[in-house]
Amino acid sequence: MTPTLVHSHLPRAGARPRVDRCARARDWAEIQERMLVPLYEAVYARLDVGGGTRLLGLGCGSGLALLMAASRGASVTGVEPSAPERLALARGRLTSDASAGARPRGDTRLVEGTPGDAAAPDSPKYTLVTAFQPIGCVAGDSEGLSVLLESAAPLAERGAPVVLAGWGPPERCTTSSVLRVAAKLADPLRSTRSWRTACRDDLEEVAQYAGLKPDGSGRVACPFGYADMDSAVRGLLSTGLFDAAVGATDQVQVDKELTEALHPHQRRDGTVWMPNVFRYLIARVP
């Protein structure tokens, strides 16, 4: 049965409908995750990811970045601390017997939990750590990342690169105007969940707080392109950035205002196109 975008309901007392996390995970894997492919490709090319790479992916989600690294010959381990629905999809992509014919080269391991849960006494240390979930969009969205990085650093070789990703300047990210809808609905009084402007040193501050040494950065164009308005709404909802807004209002209201915010970016053929720039930082394990 095809999941519907809008869940109609009558006003009533009691708890609000919960977000369908399984449907959101599928939308992330099928619609939204591919928007960051240029970022993954740029990082892997710059760091020459290949057969000798042992990669630890933090917040690996549904595993597209891991799949791309594994296709280059890398041995990959993915850690997902907070989205088991996405991790289940990653397992299907990377370890399913049904896809054995197209299984990428290299060892693959997926762990639900923290980097410490991925540690193994007899395993060699990782040569690359990635944290591709972009920060710099919502106030406080980097707090958990520093903790993950601190626990992951001892699992990597000395001098190993650690890659962090973040949103670029708002004037270079067309989607920023759309994401402000989430902040407005979730907290009209601008609480700690409100939209914030990405700062130039966000990534450096996170790396330094985790005891890592910044060692280069880059910018990558990652346009968000959708076949139609329905796909755009579902894709953006799948990021999780609108969950607080759904909880504060309801799904119908969020869908309505998100659709209105997307209309200026819809082209005559019905597609939705929003140019964006993302930034990545390469830091080193001391």
173-195 pLDDT, tens digit per residue, is 999 999 989 888 887 655 444 55
pLDDT of residue 146: 87
Residue 218 domain-assigned? Answer: yes
- Residue 178 covered by a domain: no
Residue 6 reports pLDDT greater than 70: no
In this prediction, residues 203-227 reach a mean pLDDT of: 96
Contact yes or no for 61/28 (Cβ under 8 A): yes
Q: Is the pLDDT of residue 206 over 70?
A: yes
Confidence of residue 139 (pLDDT cuts 50, 70, 90): low
Tell me, what CATH number does 68's domain have?
3.40.50.150
| CB 127, CB 157: distance < 8 Å | yes
Please tell me the least confidently modeled range out of 137-141, 202-206, 272-276, 280-284.
137-141
pLDDT of 200? 64
Inside any domain, residue 115: yes
Q: Using pLDDT thresholds of 50, 70 and 90, give the confidence band for residue 154.
A: very high
Structural domain boundaries enclosing 151: 21-171+197-227+275-284
Tell me if 27 is assigned to some domain.
yes
pTM exceeds cut of 0.75: yes
pLDDT per position as a tens digit, 37-95: 999 999 999 999 999 999 999 999 999 999 999 999 999 999 999 899 999 999 999 98
How many folded domains does the chain comprise? 1
pLDDT tens digits, 254-264: 999 999 999 99
Q: Is residue 184 a part of any domain in this protein?
A: no
| Domain assignment of residue 2, yes or no | no
Tell me the sheet residues that pair with 57: 78, 130
d(CA 21, CA 87): 12
Report yes or no on 41 lying in a domain: yes
**Mean pLDDT, residues 6-26:** 60
What does the mean pLDDT of the chain come to?
87
Any domain includes 4 = no
Query: Which stretches does DSSP call E strand in the chain?
Result: 54-58, 75-80, 108-112, 128-135, 161-167, 213-221, 224-226, 272-274, 277-284
In the numeric block, which tokens belong to residue 276?
């964006």
